[in-house]
Amino acid sequence: MALILAWAKGRGEIDVNPCEKGGRTYRATRNEFVWSDQQEAAFLASAPAHLHLPLILALWTGQRQGDLLKLKWMQYDGEFIRLRQGKTGVHVTIPVGAPLKGMLDPLRQKAGNVLLTSEGNPWSPDGFRTVWGRACRAAGISDVTFNDLRGTAVTRLAIAGCTEAQIATITGHTLRDVRSILDSNYLNRDVAMAVEAIRKLEARTKSPN
């Protein structure tokens, strides 16, 4: 259609081609897509062992796929992971939680990439996406992606009681982006949060004798 209208405009048949430089009509967001505990368990039960670390690393750091695939062992000192985010240039220092530390320490090297293929080679972005997608399909996971693990980390930190500022310090998001992710997910979060909120209100409220 755009070519036809361009031809007509070139011949003077029309004054304007409405298909020319139309631009984007919307901005996509996946803020509402969050990995559930069940999906995490299904992936770990089904996926090959060399894909377990990428999952846990993403969930416990909230970093982008590209930054994690480039992560070097020298950026982990046994207590913190330090990196400069490729997309934004933001420097983050991430305390390493016990589940992630338990996976990193037995594999720790003096140099090289943290995440490797089953052959022990660094991942290419396309290669990782292909293998990850195949593993997700094998685990019956079709509605969330690796990129959704970043928002999942934000949501889980909030459920654990972290403030927006604390979350942003770990993940490198802006406070506005953290708030946007949480706004998309809080209506669907675990009912345990609602129960905890009522318990706090009960504790604060003095019932009449």
Q: What is the pLDDT of residues 83-134, one digit of tens each?
A: 999 999 999 999 999 999 999 999 999 999 999 999 999 999 999 999 999 9
Q: What is the pLDDT of residue 26?
A: 40
- Per-residue buried b or exposed e for 44-64, using 16+ beta carbons within 10 Å of the residue's own CB: eeebeebbebbbbbbbbbbbb
Split at pLDDT 50, 70, 90, the class of 30 is: confident
Q: What is the pLDDT of residue 16?
A: 66
Q: Return the higher-pLDDT residue of 195 and 106.
A: 106
Of 5, 16, 40, give the one whose Cα is nearest residue 144: 40
Side chain identity at residue 13, one-letter code? E
Q: Are the C-beta atoms of residues 159 and 194 closer than 8 Å to each other?
A: no
Split at pLDDT 50, 70, 90, the class of 186 is: low
Q: Is the pLDDT of residue 178 over 60?
A: yes
Side chain identity at residue 19, one-letter code? C
Q: d(Cα 93, Cα 171) in Å, to the nearest integer? A: 9
Helix axes 148-159, 52-61, angle to 10 degrees: 50
Q: What is the pLDDT of residue 22?
A: 55
Q: Is the pLDDT of residue 64 over 60?
A: yes
Residue 191 Cα to chain centre, angstroms: 22
Q: Are the C-beta atoms of residues 173 and 162 closer than 8 Å to each other?
A: no
Instruction: Tell me which DSSP letter residue 122 carries.
Output: B
Q: Return the higher-pLDDT residue of 15 and 26.
A: 15
Q: Return the higher-pLDDT residue of 189 and 40.
A: 40
